[in-house]
């Protein structure tokens, strides 16, 4: 499955579509990953395989009755919906955060808030405990609300007026920036087809629009695709660290993702043997996966054929690549969480570092 990255989010009210779900069950299976990879068979019996090279991770799986189409954990919760086409959010214990369901949850949680529409067709923002936090703007009700980005969200009021608000509900300047008609986002400016490097501090371009695609900068480094279809690892002013297309001729320039603070993955056109690289472009690990996603807090989703799992930044398998679907890997309180789908059953997976 290709996961091509588009950096600049231009669609403001992207709606997350979710499939039906019910209340969670309470079953929890504890397994070991890493040094002892314990697999739970269909019968529920455990088989053990030794892997002396991988670090130990303790995994536990809590089965739910949720049916989730677009799994994503943010702010410690994830969106679910029911057969009557209403929605709610579950926390990581499998408990719904609100006693009442919603007609819509729009785009889920970001920066602690989510915009919802209740059964009375009233729209407002809630926190991740289900508490209403922004119901009106200058006394006017909100028709539709975007996610918060850097403390700012765009909303449409009942009068159809469009404004930007901060997290206290006060009107504030929009987060979008322009330069001579171009959109500016971080270290780039764009016409939504091509990208150039931009100096935000001095409000001026550093290059012309010379890239077909680009990832966000982490520190002073990012990935870009030039007009000759070369995937380049660059510094913030455009100096090339390494031409990855020359180093790996079969690299897939349409299957790239953001780098992390210490590594990133590259994927290939034949969907085999994705690699993990350091921020100089050197290989950390060769893998057998067809796709590796973005590393966050040391973990990334991986794909083998049509099955999904999770690995760490050294290429060690954490969650076996045997699941039908998997969410992002979410970090909280020195633990990591993921939603995994086995057949029709979704489970909440908790990952702890082993001793």
Residue-level pLDDT at 176: 85
Arithmetic mean of pLDDT over the chain: 86
Burial readout 266-279 (b: 16 or more C-beta within 10 A, e: otherwise): bbbeebeebbbbeb
Residue-level pLDDT at 124: 98
**36 falls in which pLDDT band (50, 70, 90)?**
very low
- 66-166 maps to CATH 3.40.50: no
Residue-level pLDDT at 55: 66
The ranges of the chain annotated as CATH 2.40.10 are 177-250
Residues 76-88 pLDDT 10s = 999 998 888 999 9
Q: Say if residue 115's pLDDT is above 90.
A: yes
**70 falls in which pLDDT band (50, 70, 90)?**
confident
Q: Of 50-54, 61-65, 279-283, which range is least confident? A: 50-54
From residue 47, give the alpha-carbon distance in Å to each of 32, 340, 345. Answer: 11, 20, 21
| Whether pTM exceeds 0.85 | no
**Domain 177-250, what architecture?**
Beta Barrel (2.40)
Q: Say if residue 33's pLDDT is above 60.
A: no
Residue-level pLDDT at 38: 36
The ranges of the chain annotated as CATH 2.40.128 are 66-166
Q: Say if residue 53's pLDDT is above 90.
A: no
């Amino acid at each position: 499955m290709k996961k091509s990255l588009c950096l600049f989010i231009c669609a403001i009210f992207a709606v997350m579509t979710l499939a039906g779900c019910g209340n969670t069950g309470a079953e929890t299976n504890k397994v070991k990953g890493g040094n002892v990879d314990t697999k739970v068979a269909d019968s529920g019996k455990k088989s053990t395989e030794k892997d002396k090279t991988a670090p130990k991770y303790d995994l536990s799986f809590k089965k739910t009755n949720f049916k989730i189409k677009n799994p994503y954990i943010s702010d410690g919760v994830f969106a679910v919906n029911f057969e009557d086409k209403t929605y709610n959010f579950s926390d990581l214990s499998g408990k719904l955060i609100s006693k009442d369901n919603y007609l819509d949850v729009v785009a889920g949680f970001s920066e602690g808030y989510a915009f919802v529409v209740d059964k009375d067709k009233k729209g407002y923002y809630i926190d991740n405990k289900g508490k209403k936090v922004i119901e009106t703007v200058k006394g006017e009700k909100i028709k539709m609300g975007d996610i918060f980005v850097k403390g700012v969200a765009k909303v449409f009021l009942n009068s159809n007026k469009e404004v930007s608000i901060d997290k206290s509900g006060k009107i504030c300047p929009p987060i979008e920036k322009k330069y001579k008609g171009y959109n500016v986002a971080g270290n780039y400016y764009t016409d939504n087809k091509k990208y150039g490097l931009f100096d935000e501090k001095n409000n001026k371009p550093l290059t012309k629009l010379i890239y077909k695609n680009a990832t966000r900068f982490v520190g002073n480094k990012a990935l870009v695709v030039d007009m000759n279809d070369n995937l380049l690892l660059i510094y913030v002013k455009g100096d090339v660290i390494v031409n990855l297309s020359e180093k790996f001729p079969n690299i897939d320039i349409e299957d790239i993702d953001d780098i992390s603070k210490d590594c990133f993955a590259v994927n290939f056109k034949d969907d085999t043997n994705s690699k993990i690289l350091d921020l100089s472009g050197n290989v950390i690990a060769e893998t057998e996966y067809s796709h590796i996603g973005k590393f966050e807090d040391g973990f990334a989703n991986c794909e083998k054929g049509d099955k999904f799992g999770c690995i760490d930044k050294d290429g060690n398998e954490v969650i076996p690549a045997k699941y039908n679907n998997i969410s992002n890997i979410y970090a909280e309180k020195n633990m990591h969480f993921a939603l995994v789908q086995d057949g029709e059953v979704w489970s909440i997976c908790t990952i702890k570092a082993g001793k």
